Structure formats: C-alpha cells, structure tokens
Amino acid sequence: MKRLLIIIAIVFSAIVSAETAHTTKKIYIVLSSGDAIYYNIAESLENTLSDSLSVPYNIDIVTLESGNIKAIKPTDLLVPVGAKAVEQIYRYQASNTIIYSFVEQELIRKLNPTKFSNTWAAVTVNQPIERLIKVADKLVKTAYKNNIVIIVSTNNRKLVDKINAINSLQNGQIDIVTTRANDVVNKRVEKSLFNAAALISTDEEAIWSGSNAKWLLRQAYNYQVPVVGNSKRFLKAGALISVYSSMEKISHATVNLIKQWTETGGLVDTGIHYVPSTIDINKSIAHALHYNIKELNAIKVQE
C-alpha cells in the first residue's frame, strides 16, 4: 500500500510539473491596433486554441501600446497580427519563437527575420503567382486570344523569375508586360489586350492600386478580357475571379503552427506559409463576358 501511494505521488508530481512547465510559458497574440478587426482575429485564434490544445496555455491578447508587452519572457511564443505588430515584434528580436500572421510576404522578405533567428514562421495574406496563372489558364477559350497578361515593374526581377520558372501551360501562354516608374500603365498594356485571354493582378501596389487599378479593370472590360484578381477587393471592382486567402484559412494555418509549438517546443515548419486559396466569381462580369458560371465554379487550384 505504501509503495502504491509513493507511485501515485510520483505520477501526480510529474503531471503537475508538466502542466506547470506549460503554464509558465505564455502565448502572446500581439495586435497592430485596437481596431475591431484585429480583436476579432485574436478572439478567433484564442477560441480555436482553447478548444484544441491538450494542455492549457496562458494566452494573452495585447496591443503594441499595452504595458503587458514588457512582461514577455524569452520562452514565450509571440504571434504578431498585421504589419505594424510584425515590424515591432521583429525589432524586439529576443530568443522567442515568432509566428508572424496576416502579413504581406514582401514585408517578411524585406525584414528578413532569418538574419537574427531561424525559429520563425509567417502566414501570409498573399497567393503565389503560380496559382493565379493556373486559374487564368482555365479561362482561355480560343487559340487566337490565348495570352495571359501580367504587368511587372522593370525592377521586379523576383516576380519575373517566378513567372519564367513556370512550366508550359495547358491552354495559354504568358505575356509579361514590363513598365517603368513614369509609364502610363494602361497605355503600356493596351497593345497586349488585343490577344489576351486574361489579365492577372499582382501584389505590386504601384501598378494595382488607386487610379491605375481602376483604369486597368475598366480597360480590360472594354477589351472583353477577364481579370483574375489576387485579392477579394478586386471582385467588387470588376474582376471576373478573385483568388485570395480568406481570414478563416489564415487563422487556421496560424493555429496549426501554434499547436506545433505547444506540442514540440519549437517549429518544424518554418519560413513563409501560403494558405489554401479561396475562389470567388463575379456573376455579373461572367454574364457580360459570356462565361458559363457552372464551369467557373468548378475551377479548382492545385495548391
């Protein structure tokens, strides 16, 4: 009996020690601001984690202005949400594991967290250009109008290299239109739209924002060329299809990485992560450009 009590005491002590080890580590979800959208994201992450973690962890939701951020310990996990939080936590650069979330891939590449640490991952809001091209390829109707047009700044060699690395397509061919800083973008691309099957928007803000984006969408419509948007905002603006990362899928990918940290004490899957794509159709544009909506809804992206 005495031996049994000793064994029970040892087991109980081990359990308590394991739980204490977990509860001494904290998960800090750091928000870029106090805006409702960030709190909605944080609450979604917290609720999903609370339901799925086998051992409870202390989860603290803080903003950059919060005094709690000063209490961070080197063993804590940091999950900055949004660009401002990402930049601030990047500067923090202690020995913490960091999961950057809801962030543009270009910001991560600019910051280059690997300079300081390999214990990081980033869940981006971007879609790889390869996915957009595969969707555009499915829109090609004829051999005459089979060009898939992508506008690229002359200094964006990374994007050009990614496009050139893509193997031959099933239906169309890629037409890269380069543009300089002082070019009028819609005039630069006009000639290519005569034989275009689709126009793809990219992450280049200088090309696909403000009045440039507005004119490009209008011009493509006038030439009866569908636009494949890389963000949901393009759907309302006149794109035929948007291929984007939904909030739910970004949150899900972030939670999976956090669970990986809680279960292993580190990150196995480091670096930049793209989430599975969501595809939406603009039915009004589909009717206007004579596309079959059932066929468009059947389009799937190979992730």
Domain boundaries, the chain: 2-125+248-269, 129-244+278-297
CB 162 within 8 A of CB 130: yes
Compute the mean pLDDT over every residue in the chain, rounded to the nearest whole number: 88
Is residue 234 exposed (0-12), middle (13-18) or buried (19+ Cβ within 10 Å)? buried
pLDDT value of residue 93: 60
CATH T-level assignment (fold) for domain 129-244+278-297: Rossmann fold (3.40.50)
pLDDT value of residue 300: 87
pLDDT value of residue 8: 40
DSSP string, 139-167: T---SSS-EEEEEEETT-HHHHHHHHTSP
**DSSP state letter for 54:** S
Greatest Cα pair distance, the chain, in angstroms, is: 90
**DSSP state letter for 257:** H
Measured CA to CA, the distance from residue 144 to residue 172 in angstroms comes to 10
pLDDT value of residue 16: 40
Residue 299 has pLDDT above 60, yes or no: yes
Chain centroid, CA 116 distance in Å = 23
pLDDT value of residue 71: 81
Comparison of pLDDT for 196 and 18, the residue scoring more: 196
Q: Do domains 2-125+248-269 and 129-244+278-297 have the same CATH topology?
A: yes
**N-to-C CA span, the chain:** 59
Residue 33 has pLDDT above 50, yes or no: yes
57-116 residue pLDDT tens: 889 999 988 767 778 888 899 999 999 999 988 887 667 899 999 999 989 988 988 877
pTM: 0.84
Of the listed ranges 54-63, 124-133, 198-207, the one predicted with least confidence: 54-63
Beta bridge partners of 26: 58
Comparison of pLDDT for 11 and 171, the residue scoring more: 171
Sign, CA torsion 236/237/242/247: negative
Measured CA to CA, the distance from residue 172 to residue 142 in angstroms comes to 9
pLDDT value of residue 69: 75
**DSSP state letter for 230:** S
pLDDT value of residue 302: 73
In CATH, 2-125+248-269 is 2.40.50.100 = no
DSSP string, 265-303: SS-SS-EEEPPPPEEEE-HHHHHHTT--HHHHHT-----
CB 287 within 8 A of CB 297: no
